[in-house]
Amino acid sequence: MKNKEQLAQMVAEKVDAALKASDHPKKFFITENGRGVVDGGDLYNAVLKDVMGVVQVALIEILDTLMTPPAPPPAPSKTSEKPAKVSTKK
């Protein structure tokens, strides 16, 4: 089984490869009225980096959870205590 560092490296490599293979705008910025315009550069790259970082962390945690075997159920407790007596005095 891979450890978390190896998993993180694999996810980073696959995400980088997917980004290079995809056709997405190389430059992007948001105007004052909230519209996105394909132009600019720094804002788009910063947003892309932040979003991809969040996606990578989520993927690593999901895959790590799926790869980690579940903990065994707790063993039933064996108590040797006798039940408490109930007093019936009036």
| Domain of residue 34, residue span | 1-7+26-70
Q: Is residue 84 part of a domain?
A: no
Q: Is residue 20 part of a domain?
A: no
Q: Is residue 30 part of a domain?
A: yes
Residue closest to 52 by CA, chosen among 18, 77, 21, 27: 18
pLDDT, position 51: 87
- Count structural domains, the chain: 1
Does an H or E element contain 42, and which? Answer: helix 42-67
**Structure tokens of 82?**
């006798």
Name 19's Cβ contacts closer than 8 Å, sequence gap at least 6: 52
pLDDT, position 32: 75
- pTM score, two decimals? 0.56
Distance CA 38, CA 29 (A): 7
Q: Which residues of the chain have pLDDT under 70?
A: 1-2, 24-30, 36-43, 78-90
Q: Is residue 82 part of a domain?
A: no
